[in-house]
A and B are shown apart, each in its own frame.
Chain A
């Protein structure tokens, strides 16, 4: 299930503009890795290159390699659709399909892969995924109602359930709590702590405490100025980043003496 990701000399471009420069890092399996850094430093951009979602944006492309357990995601003949089926993604704003019920939302990805699934298998997968996302108790009596009728936090957990229903190797989350209240945020943070038992989790966050609470490893990105590409400044155990960073820029950012 859980896999290791190695990124080597990765540059990301939007047309002529280089958004991310020369990132090399290793993301360990069964752990939570947090990306922090100022706005516009390319965290989202970089995260999207880990499941080739950046290719959805016209003109976006990468140089360099991303390998997952030794397999190059950008190798010749690799189908981005297959990559995304193994590397799930949760977005900043909850985005359940409004035209689908809660149950259909959970099954949305699975039905793409495996059309013939018995009704009982479906029931079971829906329950397992919703339990995995800590949402089962709240929605078990209204699985047939639209997913857009849930609260924001519930919608976000529904999106997580939808992602883990695919049994991905890796789960990418781009500021999954930034649209949520503190209680929902805590629920999702708890969930992230549980998810790392089975998945490689990567999370982008602007919330320093959140990074400190949930992650094992933290990567700090920064930009030199507007128009300059984002760079990976430092990546280490979260403890170390927050208590004894080796770079001055990291320390300034962590302590709020930024810019």
Chain B
């Protein structure tokens, strides 16, 4: 912004033969860029103000004043805790599936597939991003959840000694693991698209350096492509995480939630997520401080998302010297 605003860059005012006026195009561009920047800040401030003004009363509410939401909880924090846990847990699980798969697909498109197939695949992946989340919810509840029950039963029987797979298997399959896998499918396109772009941007120079040292294609990818793309992969994963954290409909439809905190993946008792909970409770919350409580949970989600983004930035910047940007 500073550079764009700097008048001397477009022609100084001092007398002399280099005198000149700022070009109109530069002015328009600088103005538009500045305006857009300010607009984003204003919107963000407005959203924050809304969340604070409406949410804080909910956060401080006496459970008696908000019976439909805080009915069974000792306080707002007891209420939002399991929801925040469920949100982060489901999103992390989703990333766990989506990131490796996305990297694999993106690498296939950028470095293995013949050109025509790569273009087709890229197109299909982009289409996946255009499917509305209700459709994923419907698919998850009617097709996917019943289909995974036998797998869950098997996992529970053979690997049940691992706490993650312990407990009584859900008969419907509508568990947090199912929700996480549906989320994974939903965030796959954005992560894949970003990974593909950064993989394609690997300098030819460095790919050739690796190949000339006698690297196989996979070794070249490990040596030149992946390290170069690391910040991009992290950014992509964070965008995916942002989408997973905020995803509402699919989780609300797929997950059979009961507001507890557990790491067990296969049981019928699952933590809910903040957005899904807001969607499900909003209808019946229309009086007292109930709505404020829900907005308060929204504020918590806002903070969690910010924290996650800050963490991602920190990770990306930590090894800046080695990023290949210089």
Contact = CB atoms under 8 A, between A and B. Distances in A.
Contacts of B209: 91, 95-97, 159
Given A53-B211, A109-B214, A148-B326, A99 B228 contact: yes
Interface stretch (A5-13, A80-88, A129-137, A238-246): A80-88
Interface residues of A, number: 31
B215 interface: yes
Interface string B197-211: 000000101111111
Interface stretch (B93-101, B219-227, B276-284): B219-227
B-side interface mostly: helix
Contact of A95 (B208, B322, B323, B325): B208
A91 B205 contact: yes
Interface string B282-326: 000000000000000000000000000000000000000111111
Nearest to B209: A95
Contacts of B224: 97
Interface in B221-241: 223-224, 227-228, 230
A175 to B, nearest CB: 14
Contacts of B206: 95, 97-98
Contact of A84 (B205, B214, B228, B321): B214
Given A91-B205, A93-B205, A95-B205, A84 B323 contact: no
Contacts of A163: 212-213
A82 B219 CA distance: 13
A84 B213 CA distance: 6
Nearest to A85: B214
A100 B210 CA distance: 12
Interface in A113-139: 113
Contacts of A88: 212-213
B8 interface: no
Interface in B169-221: 203, 205-216, 219
Nearest to B222: A112
B211 A98 contact: no
B215 A81 contact: yes
A103 interface: no
B292 to A, nearest CB: 49
Interface string A47-76: 000010100100000000000000000000
A148 B223 CA distance: 15
A57 to B, nearest CB: 10
Nearest to B230: A99
B322 A98 contact: yes
A93 B212 CA distance: 14
Contacts of A149: 321, 326
A101 B205 CA distance: 17
Contact of B219 (A53, A99, A112, A159): A112
A112 B323 contact: no
Contacts of A146: 321-322, 326
A211 interface: no
A161 interface: no
Interface string A148-167: 11000000000100110010
A97 B214 contact: no
B213 A98 contact: no
Contacts of B219: 112
Given A96-B209, A99-B228, A112-B214, 17 more contacts: A53-B208, A53-B212, A84-B212, A84-B214, A88-B212, A91-B212, A95-B206, A98-B228, A98-B322, A98-B323, A99-B227, A99-B323, A100-B322, A109-B214, A113-B214, A159-B209, A162-B213
10 contacts: A56-B211, A82-B214, A99-B228, A99-B324, A112-B215, A145-B321, A146-B321, A146-B326, A159-B209, A166-B213
Interface of B: 203, 205-216, 219, 223-224, 227-228, 230, 321-326
